[in-house]
Structure 1
Amino acid sequence: MRALLLFLIGLFLGGGIGLLAGGSLEMEGHAHDHSGHSDMDHDHSALTPWPTDTPAPDLSIALLEDGPTSRNLHIMADGFDWTPEAVNGPVTGGGHAHVYVNGEKVARAYGPWVHLTDFPTEGPVTVRVTLNANDHSGWSLDGVPLATETEFK
């Protein structure tokens, strides 16, 4: 009887803790709010002026088909230093890119190639890429974001 009682208590406590932990996990397809995490609170609207002693990067993109619903995005950013090891750190002159498909942020790019899955197959698709500093602020030149946007059909 004692073993059964201990088993039931363990099952109850273990299941309760499991449910609590499971409730905090991010589920696929559900949005995750970073506002409660001080280390993840990125202001994507903030702009950081590109250093005046360095020419601004020349930015363009190309999209290559890689299956029915996936594409490989090539980010050509001549003059830009990719610094994935410094993300979330101080602004140092390099950074990463943010990738948007039809206005929705879908990826961070830490180098010139990004594999995009679940790519829309209908209608024109707008892909926008912004160059971002380590603190996630957008690099800018004369107040204009260093970004490119292209519509693919």
Structure 2
Amino acid sequence: MSRSLALFAIGLVFGGGAGFVIAAGNGVTFDGHDHGSADHHGGGHGEVTAHDHSQAVSLVAGPDAPSVAIQLHKDPMAGWNLQVTPQNFRFAPQNSSADVDGEGHAHVYVNGEKLARLYANWMHIPALPEMAEVKVSLNTNSHKTLQVEGEPLEAKTSVPTGGDGS
């Protein structure tokens, strides 16, 4: 039993480390920022340089409207690989504030908790609880939520039962 626990711990350390290396190599950032600060919501010294997550950009539905689909793939080593497939939308890590139609980034949530900002089509998640809900939303460069006809531009899926959560 103790040998199994030791191997499990070693697997978590190396699996988590590999996940972070893969994420960093794909442009995934885990850096946060203070949502409580006044300048985050444009309340600084009269200048609006920060972003506001409470605003949304609503787009008209149609063949040119952005959309997103996601899939979870069990990683053969450990954890899960999240595949994000946007349509009429381009990830733009070089533009972190100026909005440009059809580009921005994604936010990844697990059970309602924000996990990361995403600037690529793939992300490794080291572990997920069985039946956890994974949601990906598309956002403008300035972090405004994208909507189509008032509905958030997002996709959701759940971790399959029997996926052992790791």
TM category, shorter: 0.5 to 0.7
The answer for the alignment partner of 1:152 in structure 2 is: 159
- Measure the CA separation in 2 of the matches of 1:111 and 1:120: 20
Indicate which of 72, 88, 94 corresponds to 1:63: 72
* Cα deviation, residue 39, structure 1: 5.2
Instruction: State the number of aligned residues.
Output: 119
* Cα deviation, residue 61, structure 1: 0.4
The answer for the alignment partner of 2:56 in structure 1 is: 47
The one-letter code matched in structure 2 to 1:101 is V
Indicate which of 98, 105, 118 corresponds to 1:90: 98
* Percent of pairs with identical residues: 35
The answer for the alignment partner of 2:16 in structure 1 is: none
Contact residue 99 and residue 141 of structure 2 kept, 8 A = yes
Structure 1 range deviating more: 136-145 or 32-41: 32-41
Alpha-carbon RMSD across the aligned residues, in angstroms, is 2.5
The one-letter code matched in structure 1 to 2:133 is T
The one-letter code matched in structure 2 to 1:112 is N
Q: What are the residue-to-residue correspondences of 1:1-153 with 2, within 5 Å? A: 33-36=34-37, 38=39, 42-50=51-59, 55-66=64-75, 67-68=77-78, 70-87=79-96, 89-93=97-101, 94-117=103-126, 119-121=127-129, 123-153=130-160
| SS of aligned partner of 1:136 | coil
The one-letter code matched in structure 1 to 2:149 is D
The one-letter code matched in structure 1 to 2:52 is D
- When the two structures are superposed, what TM-score results if normalisation uses the length of structure 1? 0.67
- When the two structures are superposed, what TM-score results if normalisation uses the length of structure 2? 0.62
What whole-Å deviation, never above 9, does each CA across 1:114-151 have from its counterpart, x for those lacking one? Answer: 1223x223x30101100000111111111111111112
Structure 1: tracts of 5 or more residues without a match? 1-30
Larger radius of gyration: 1
